[in-house]
Amino acid sequence: MSEPNIKVNNFKNALSRLKEGIAKYNGTDDLLRDGVIQRFEFTFELAWKTLKAGLLTSVPIKLRRRTNDS
């Protein structure tokens, strides 16, 4: 399995766990709220890394230096 595919699977698992935490949160349990926040942060970071890996492997990006003219 390629690295981008592994990252997608990891992201899907993290998203599933985040949804699970949100479903269990009742609005009163501070410890559960903190856990959901932590899961969100983790899932967000995985989303960013997954998107970055996908873009770097499938889209050729040509970088150019900015000049004062452009």
Q: Is the pLDDT of residue 17 over 90?
A: yes
HSE at residue 47, side-chain half, CA atoms within 13 A, is 10
CA-CA-CA-CA dihedral for 50, 51, 54, 58, to nearest 10: 180
**Main-chain phi, psi angles of 62, to 5 degrees:** -105, 120
Locus of tokens 């983790």 = 42
Residues 25-40 pLDDT 10s: 999 999 999 999 999 9
> What is the rounded distance in angstroms from the CA atom of residue 66 to the CA atom of residue 48?
25
Q: What is the pTM of this model?
A: 0.74
